[in-house]
């Protein structure tokens, strides 16, 4: 997944920079480099995915300019061919086109990219730094200011601990220049509602998702797929099979005693003909990994932590047991098409506003989970549902069509692939089940029981009062917060609070983020 870090000014403490940067070496174990620009430091840990030769090592340099980028730029070959009329390229890396693009277009280049990326550019002519992040925030980027007032950028909060007093997420769809953040793309804002009829909408969803998966299959390293047996990951895998020249490899995980997802994942794998591997986890393994997972996530959010336990252990197994380097996942579909709780949206306007909120905050929750669990195991995540064209179109679709008026959530996505042979009908119409529940209800139940044993009622009441921002409201949330504070003291505002259903809606005023507490959970647990 690569890791980047930049100290953007004079007077850098190189030893301190190196210490902070070394904390994310697992993101890019293939090679590491720190360069002095003459006006700061730029560091890069490489995970070789495109352009595997040493010439693809960053930072890239063009005259007095430097760039570091953690990213995948889709369709870069077309851009590169045009740029070759004026520039000489020395590698097959997609990111090498960034400096020529900057030379030609300046900061307008960011809106031109079809990419998942986070980058920092040093303009040696103007003696200034520019940073940018993709519109969803699929690739991580954080920033803070040191005691001298110098801004420092890094892939993860752990890089900045001890260097900056406050650590904040870089806003997705923005670039930084001259001390200010500028929005270059907000996918949640639509200039015009799409009034296409149902069949036209579903046809476009079908075609755009296929293109999104297809472009993410391109890699010089080996590609694998996370398969839960739910609708989203199953569709990604089914499309990939049709677009791949050889069988794909799929991976699933569940609790050893009550896994729900595993049987469905196996059914999908058998249907599409993938080379499938199952991983089992125990309650002891989950508890033993808890502190490690919270440290790598840099969050206290209940939902994110629960869902990360299985994902982390699965990706750990993939890293240890295979030569896979790239993983395609099914994140972001829920935010576009709806969760179980959005069935309770009072009207189309409320549904759309909720979707906009979730998309804007994705980088703090589901996208964060996918990045950390995958990257810490020296793997790269690719997210087809986060494709810029796909997201832009779905967000523009009339929310009246996206609401659950059909007796089944995510109807548009299901209907888009209905009767086309991609998946068994029972998978295509399977009820939504959150990953943290579907790996086995016992996992969450055990974590909650562990928290209950950790604190007495008196201790819980006293300890929660220490926190005024995002105050813990259950013993489980207190347990996670205390572990978080151990590694990131005073940095709770990195996260916009707890991911919870919209409590203002009837039926959603609950004290647990799991869909299991909602009245419409139904067959999700079967």
Q: In what order do the strands lie in the sheet with 249-255?
A: 275-281, 249-255, 223-226, 326-328, 380-382
Query: 254 near 439, Cβ under 8 Å?
Result: yes
DSSP per position, 81-100: HHHTTT----SS-GGGGHHH
| Known catalytic residue at 185 | no
Residues 461, 465, 470, 475, Cα dihedral to 10° = -20
Query: 7 near 40, Cβ under 8 Å?
Result: yes
DSSP per position, 9-31: SS---HHHHHHHHGGGGGGSBTE
Q: Which of 2, 8, 119, 315 is catalytic?
A: 2
DSSP class of residue 187 equals: T
Question: Residue 371, SS3?
Answer: helix
The two structure tokens encoding residue 225: 């797929």
Secondary structure percentages of the chain, helix, strand, coil, to 5 = 45, 15, 40
- CA-CA distance, 361 to 257, in Å (whole number)? 34
What Å distances lie between residue 67 and 103, 312, 440, CA to CA? 12, 30, 44
Q: Would you please indicate which residues are annotated as catalytic (active-site) residues?
A: 2
């Amino acid at each position: 997944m690569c890791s980047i870090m930049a100290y953007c000014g004079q007077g850098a403490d190189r030893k301190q920079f190196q210490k902070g940067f070394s904390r994310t070496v697992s993101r890019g174990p293939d090679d590491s480099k720190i360069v002095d620009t003459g006006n700061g430091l730029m560091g890069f840990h490489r995970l070789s995915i495109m352009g595997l030769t040493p010439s693809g090592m960053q930072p890239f340099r063009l005259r007095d300019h430097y760039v570091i980028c953690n990213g995948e730029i889709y369709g870069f070959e077309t851009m590169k061919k045009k740029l070759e009329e004026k520039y000489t390229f020395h590698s097959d890396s997609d990111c090498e086109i960034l400096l020529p693009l900057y030379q030609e277009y300046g900061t307008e280049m960011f809106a031109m990219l079809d990419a998942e990326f986070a980058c920092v550019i040093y303009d040696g002519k103007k003696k200034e730094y520019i940073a940018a992040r993709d519109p969803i925030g699929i690739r991580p980027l954080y920033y803070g200011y040191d005691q001298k007032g110098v801004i420092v950028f890094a892939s993860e909060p752990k890089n900045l601990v001890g260097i900056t007093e406050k650590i904040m997420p870089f806003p997705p769809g923005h670039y930084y220049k001259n001390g200010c953040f500028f929005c270059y793309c907000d996918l949640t804002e639509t200039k015009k509602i799409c009034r296409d009829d149902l069949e036209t909408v579903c046809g476009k969803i079908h075609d755009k998702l296929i293109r999104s998966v297809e472009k993410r299959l391109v890699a010089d390293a080996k590609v694998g797929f996370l398969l839960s047996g739910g609708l989203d990951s199953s569709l990604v895998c089914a499309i990939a099979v049709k677009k791949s020249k050889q069988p794909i490899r799929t991976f699933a995980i569940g609790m050893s005693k009550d896994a729900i997802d595993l049987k469905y994942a196996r059914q999908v794998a058998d249907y599409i003909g993938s080379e499938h591997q199952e991983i089992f986890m125990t309650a002891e393994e989950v508890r033993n990994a808890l502190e490690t997972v919270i440290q790598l996530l840099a969050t206290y959010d209940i939902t994110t932590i629960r869902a990360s336990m299985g994902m982390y252990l699965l990706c750990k197994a993939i890293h240890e047991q295979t030569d896979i380097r790239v993983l395609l996942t099914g994140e972001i579909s829920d935010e576009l098409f709806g969760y179980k709780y959005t069935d309770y949206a009072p009207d189309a306007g409320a549904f759309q506003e909720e979707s906009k909120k979730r998309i804007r905050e994705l980088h703090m929750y589901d996208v964060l989970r996918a990045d950390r669990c995958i990257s810490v195991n020296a793997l790269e995540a690719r997210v087809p549902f986060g494709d810029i064209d796909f997201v832009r179109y779905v967000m523009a679709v009339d929310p009246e069509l996206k609401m659950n008026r059909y007796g089944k959530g995510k109807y548009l996505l299901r209907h888009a692939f209905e009767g086309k042979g991609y998946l068994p009908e029972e998978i295509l119409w399977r009820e939504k089940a959150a990953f943290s529940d579907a790996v086995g209800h016992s996992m969450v139940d055990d974590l909650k029981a562990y928290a209950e044993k950790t604190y007495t009622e008196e201790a819980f009441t006293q300890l929660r009062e220490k926190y005024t921002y995002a105050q813990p409201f259950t013993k489980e949330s207190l347990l996670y917060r205390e572990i978080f504070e151990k590694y990131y003291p005073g940095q709770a505002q990195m996260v916009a609070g707890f991911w919870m259903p919209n409590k203002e809606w009837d039926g959603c005023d609950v004290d647990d983020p799991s869909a299991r507490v909602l009245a419409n959970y139904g067959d999700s647990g079967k």
